[in-house]
Amino acid sequence: MGLPLRALLGACRPWTLRLGPRPRCSPRMAGNAELPSPAGSARPQDRRSRSGRAGGVRVWEDGEHPAKKLKSGGDEERRGKLPKRKVVLLVAYSGKGYHGMQGVSAAGQVVSLKVWLIDGILEKINSHLPSHIRILGLKRVTGGFNSKNKCDARTYCYLLPTFAFAHKDRDVQDETYRLSAETLQQVNRLLARYKGTHNFHNFTSQKGPQEPSARRYILDMYCEEPFVREGLEFAVIRVKGQSFMMHQIRKMVGLVVAIVKGYAPESVLERSWGAEKVDVPKAPGLGLVLERVHFEKYNQRFGNDGLHEPLDWAQEEGKVAAFKEEHIYPTIIGTEQNERSMAQWLSTLPVHNFSATALAAAGTGGKLPGPLEGSEGDGDTD
């Protein structure tokens, strides 16, 4: 008998997969989720008795009834005798067909919760899931582990067609374009400038340059060698950082694209980290994928203590790669070919005002001009 999906994953806020309508009840707290108790168990606060008995029979307050004993058998009975253990699940999902989990695709999301470690638990969970949502691994962790709070860094990748780097004099969507070694070197030189600690207040919304939380540390950012799918050339940009704000990664990619294409001077990159307001373009959210969640400090302390495994998921790398090739990349590539989100966004760059400042914004009611307004929730967040 399989475990209900909502019981296992619906309690893992903020990383929540909802395959149906939103539940009316609010989800449990992140990182310390517990599954519902087995049938037949009752919480002490659910029933209260008066201090006395009538005719040898306990009297219950109005509207309250003693819990009925239900017969349980099979998995329920065995599960009720097992203690719940804190574990983490390695989750992969394509960015369509569900609600929650921060709204982007993921090849290596991690959620923490307590479960009964019954036989074949991964197979039973996956039996309730569609093929584009999979649980790829499970590991025991310490009792107080919280997958959100214990995270040291996150790695995202951004898949985009390489015609995004073509010079502005070429057609906005030239599918015959192939990324040259020289242009790839320029892209990587610009991406490398993001490394280190910078003030990214211009790469998100509603943060000022004086706010400490606007300063973020980027460990690495680079573009890999391109590859061809369905006659169209693509490349993957990878970025690893301690944490990211809303839209930060999309704007980091968008500004580099604008510079490489010749719409913005390279000096705007340095200026965007300063105190003045710079209108940074935001690349489409389609290609953004959460690739890995890092727990390096946890691994140093508990990974080799003889009781717990390091959270590196080395044995699951094959499953992760296969899931990306089967579900994530085809979804992104197919959607790009059908909806042309990158080409549409590129067509807005010629009218983008890269010299816009806070002073210019004041003349438009405090809002920076620009056609790049988009929905929130791409997922590159704290």
Residues belonging to the binding site are: 156
Task: Give me the count of residues in the chain.
Answer: 382
* CA–CA separation, 158 and 329 (whole Å): 11
- Assess contact for 61 and 50: CB atoms under 8 A: yes
Question: Look-up: residue for tokens 């003349």?
Answer: 363
Binding positions for substrate = 156
Burial of 303 from C-beta contacts in 10 A (0-12 / 13-18 / 19+): middle
Structure token digits, residue 30: 């992140």
Owner of token pair 């929730």: 377
* H helix runs in the chain, sequence order: 5-9, 75-81, 121-126, 181-192, 248-261, 267-272, 296-302, 317-323, 329-339, 341-346, 358-362
Tell me if 378 sits within 8 A of 105, measured CB to CB: no
Q: Which sign does the torsion angle of CA 123, 125, 129, 132 carry? A: negative
DSSP 3-state of 112: strand
Backbone torsion region of residue 252, taken as left when φ is above 0, otherwise alpha when ψ lies between -120 and 50, otherwise beta:
alpha
